[in-house]
Amino acid sequence: MRRAHKVLPVLFLLLAAGCSGAARTTVAPPACRQPPEAVLPRTAGTLTEADSGTFCLPVGGQIAVFLAPPAGVAGGTSGAAVGADRWSGVVSSAPQVLTATSTGVLTAPLGVTPGIFRGTAAGEARLASSTATGRSWQVTIVIA
């Protein structure tokens, strides 16, 4: 009986220590990849209408977007009106983490919709644009 009195407190402490730790679940950030090569200075990369998926951007980093209409639409040789399938301005779903910015010197070619965005805080945002003819473009940016 004496032995039980010595073992029970130790057993109680072991059980209490095991139960007191809360289960920790960590949410992994979405898998992201580096954006395609930058065409502008001081940007981490450049996205076009051909890009999709999830891209990484460091806090404080900038990413450039250039959305071009289909070949022959904007001033091309197809005879289509300029702007017939032009992309709307690129918008961020979370401007508090990925905000539109200006380079002050950016002049895009005829028909191309440009955008420069800066990662201002850790988080996730979608960049999106669409055309009057129903085409849409969207990517996800993970800012870390």
Domain borders along the chain are 30-143
In percent, the amount of the chain with pLDDT more than 70 equals 68
As given in the structure block, the two tokens for residue 121 are: 């805080």
Domain covering 30-143, topology: Immunoglobulin-like (2.60.40)
Task: Identify the band that residue 15 occupies on the pLDDT scale cut at 50, 70 and 90.
Answer: very low
Q: Which residues of 63-90 are buried (b: 16+ CB within 10 A; e: fewer)?
A: bbbbbbbbeebbeeeeeeeeeebbbeeb
Per-residue pLDDT at 111 exceeds 50: yes
| Structure confidence by residue, pLDDT tens digits, 18-72 | 444 445 565 665 699 999 999 999 999 999 999 999 999 999 999 999 999 987 6
In this structure, the strands spanning 62-67 and 113-119 are: antiparallel
Average pLDDT over residues 102-127: 90
For residue 17, pLDDT beyond 90: no
Both tokens assigned to 18: 């095991």
pLDDT at residue 10 tops 70: no
Q: What is the mean pLDDT of residues 74-80?
A: 45
- The verdict on pTM exceeding 0.85 is no
Token reading at 2? 């004496």
Give the single-character DSSP code of 87: B
Q: How confident is the model at residue 75 (pLDDT cuts 50, 70, 90)?
A: very low
Indicate whether 98 pLDDT > 70.
Answer: yes
